[in-house]
Chains A and B, each alone.
Chain A
Amino acid sequence: MDGFRRSSLILLCLAIGIGAAYAQQPPPALVAQLMNAAGTLRGQGQNATPAGPHKLLTYRVHQLALSQPITVTVNGKSVTTSTAFRLTVTGGPFAVRAIPAVIEIDGVAAGAALESADQSALRFVTFDPALLHQGARVTVAYGEVRSDLPETLNLH
């Protein structure tokens, strides 16, 4: 896919994402809490060689149990769920800056990530059970500058 087509696709997905995101947002306090919450490890990578301009190393995927169900919009549909998923991408350091690190899954923007306290990881929470799927390609993007995680997601 050439750069323009890729950008156009991302723009389209971003537009769809914005529309969907406005529909029903999870409570901010819940998202912030889930950034650090304990969960069940569903998969982790093994790469130890820094990759891309952001020196990505590897990833972890946690499944997080919510204390009570919430209703959120996922892919344009309202769903009630008791489960969230957290993707942690290590590497960096990920400097704290104005432009957020955007997590892309299979080339599509999924959302903004939050840096860990020591800036060695990015964390991203989703309520979409299908987003972080087996074999998914993960990219970290700050505007035009992208780094691809050198391994696809391997979940169990």
Chain B
Amino acid sequence: MKKTLHALLLLVVLVAPAALAQDPTAPGPFAVTREEYNFGDTAFTPANFPGPVELLASVHHPTDLTGGPFPLVVFLHGRHATCFNGQGAAFLEWPCSAGRTPIPSYQGYDYVGALLASQGYFVVSISANGVNAVDNTVFDLGALARAELIQKHLDILKGFTTSGGAPFGTRFVGKIDLTRIGTMGHSRGGEGVARHFTFNISQGSPYGIRAVLPLAPTDFNRTLVNNVPLLVMLPYCDGDVSDLQGVHFFDDVRYNVPGDPASKHYVLVMGADHDFFNTVWSPSSGIPGSADDWIAFVPAGESDSFCGKGKANQRLTESQQRAVSTGFFTAFFRTFVGGETQFLPILTGDAPPPPGVTRNLHVTFHAPDNPFLRRDLNRFLTTTELSTNVLGGAVTPNALSPYEICGGPSPFPPRCIPSANNSQQPHTTPSARSNAPGLSQLHSGWTSASGSLQDDLPPSLRNISGFQAIQFRVVVDFSDPRNVTGVPQDFHVALTDTSGFTASVAVSSVSSALYFPPGETIVVPKIVLSTVRIPLSAFRRVNLNAVKSVAFQFDQKPQGNVLIDDVAFASAQ
């Protein structure tokens, strides 16, 4: 009876945060107007870029502008065919030849632009066909050109909101808040918004970029996006950027700048592909060039048990996938541009995704570098951390094999699973235009229930009562037969206080991060770390003012092998 009561209490504790999250996708109070501005197909040429670019964008805004200025969200699509003809053929050229029509990739996010506008945002979606036409001929593959294009549009919007101008006259004067801007870029556009963040800084930060969201992004150049909230969205069944290289945006900045005040997030969307986030790129649009990229680009992809077309596969439909982007775009921008903190639990994984969004996704969170919000325990950056953690406490492995760091800079092996290809190991996939190393991680396996890893806390740092949770990133190593194919792993996390009292929580009771990575076709299964956050309140009766050790007890399965990183005590706010 007592055990049952404890279990119920634990369940209440763990589920309680979910009740706090509201629905960021609920339509707002504003009626919405959609308009466009177009200054011509060749109106802009980025510096050192070999072709002209159009200045064309859509604008969603509250119809009634009396409550302005409104914060701004900017969208930038990625690389795609630029033109099509009446015979169903797509082309790559700019401007389009006679008889051919531009592909309106920028219109592909209208579904979420309209929603955000109803919630009180200006949403501008930029066309970038001119960049796409020739960006493979420039060394950075168009990242800087995209950044300059965004900045050019911000300059245009500055004109609209200060003195006005065609085609809107003076209607937008004083209505766009250029100190509160969020940017979202898809695919190469994702790298574009990252590059734009640094470009804006290089120009003296004329615009207030408050949040950056790369969606299924490339990261050829390893731009470092420091000091700004970051959300990277990673589709597990991406058939185009199949190595999910955009995870580097998160990995590279976790400890890059001391005192970085911004939280960082990514979400791994199981069953999502690359293109369905954009309606124009999706097959239902009927526009030439649209595709299910998993099927189109992964040989024999249609037969994959997870990402393919079989009856039991877990692929999301177009509308299911857009529900994910809608849910996370709104939660992210309303939190970090709009200042509505009630949605933050969605972005930390403390609350489930918004209604209508698949639950088969994994949210990862890295707290700001603030001593009140994060106390790192083990980062696994150096071999020293195999024996002494960041706090100076002892690290004690027991019956672990392997027990080693992989994936970081030399002397660590550049990849954690030698037998798997780069696309299966996004954290260590190489970059086309950078030599930056991949993520260093702990590779840890066990063959008996006595396997464990203990981190001690030094006496002066044992009061952890001010933090919400203990958290870490973890993923199951699919290549090790000690993990049973298709079966989730599990282990306990235990806290012990100075009186010797220990309480433990099974990871499976709070998180699905120990799933066995699914699929079997070329680029899947993949190892992508996901955050496990265990509320400290779940460790009942442990004195949180005097915790002397944290232990991973690999006692739930007889054997296994996982990759672990970023062990910390952390709070979201």
A residues at B contact (CB < 8 Å):
3-4, 7, 11, 14-15, 18-19, 21-22, 25, 27-29, 31-33, 35, 53, 95-100, 102, 112-119, 125, 142-145
Q: CB-nearest residue of chain A relative to B275?
A: A97
Q: Is B132 on the interface with A (CB-CB < 8 A)?
A: yes
User: Is B79 a contact partner of A4 (Cβ separation < 8 A)?
Assistant: no
Docked CA distance A55–B243 (Å): 22
Docked CA distance A119–B50 (Å): 20
User: Is B418 a contact partner of A96 (Cβ separation < 8 A)?
Assistant: no
List chain A residues, Cβ under 8 A from B50. 28-29, 31-33
Docked CA distance A100–B433 (Å): 12
For chain B residues 277-305, which have a beta carbon within 8 Å of chain A?
289, 291, 293, 296-299
Q: Is B507 on the interface with A (CB-CB < 8 A)?
A: no
User: Is A32 a contact partner of B51 (Cβ separation < 8 A)?
Assistant: yes
- Complex partner residue of B90 from A7, A18, A119, A144, CB under 8 angstroms: A119
List chain B residues, Cβ under 8 A from A21. 139, 433
Docked CA distance A100–B218 (Å): 10
Q: Distance (Å) between the CB of B314 and the closest chain A CB?
A: 21
- Complex partner residue of B243 from A7, A11, A14, A143, CB under 8 angstroms: A143
User: Is B136 a contact partner of A113 (Cβ separation < 8 A)?
Assistant: yes
Query: Number of B residues contacting the other chain (C-beta, 8 Å)?
Result: 51
User: Is B299 a contact partner of A145 (Cβ separation < 8 A)?
Assistant: yes
With contacts A96-B289, A98-B241 known, what are 5 further pairs, Cβ within 8 A? A7-B421, A18-B432, A28-B134, A99-B240, A112-B136
User: Is B81 a contact partner of A119 (Cβ separation < 8 A)?
Assistant: yes
Docked CA distance A119–B274 (Å): 20
User: Is B93 a contact partner of A143 (Cβ separation < 8 A)?
Assistant: no
Q: Is B483 on the interface with A (CB-CB < 8 A)?
A: no
Docked CA distance A106–B137 (Å): 22
User: Is A96 a contact partner of B89 (Cβ separation < 8 A)?
Assistant: no
Q: CB-nearest residue of chain B relative to A102?
A: B432
- Provided the pairs A31-B50, A117-B91 are in contact, do residues A96 and B435 lie with their beta carbons within 8 angstroms? no
User: Is A4 a contact partner of B419 (Cβ separation < 8 A)?
Assistant: yes
Q: Distance (Å) between the CB of B248 and the closest chain A CB?
A: 15
- Provided the pairs A32-B50, A116-B92, A143-B242 are in contact, do residues A18 and B289 lie with their beta carbons within 8 angstroms? no
Q: CB-nearest residue of chain A relative to B48?
A: A28
The 4 closest A-B pairs by CB, nearest first: A32-B50, A29-B50, A98-B187, A114-B136
For chain B residues 414-441, which have a beta carbon within 8 Å of chain A?
414, 418-419, 421-423, 430, 432-435
List chain A residues, Cβ under 8 A from B242. 99, 143-144
List chain A residues, Cβ under 8 A from B89. 118
User: Is A95 a contact partner of B291 (Cβ separation < 8 A)?
Assistant: yes
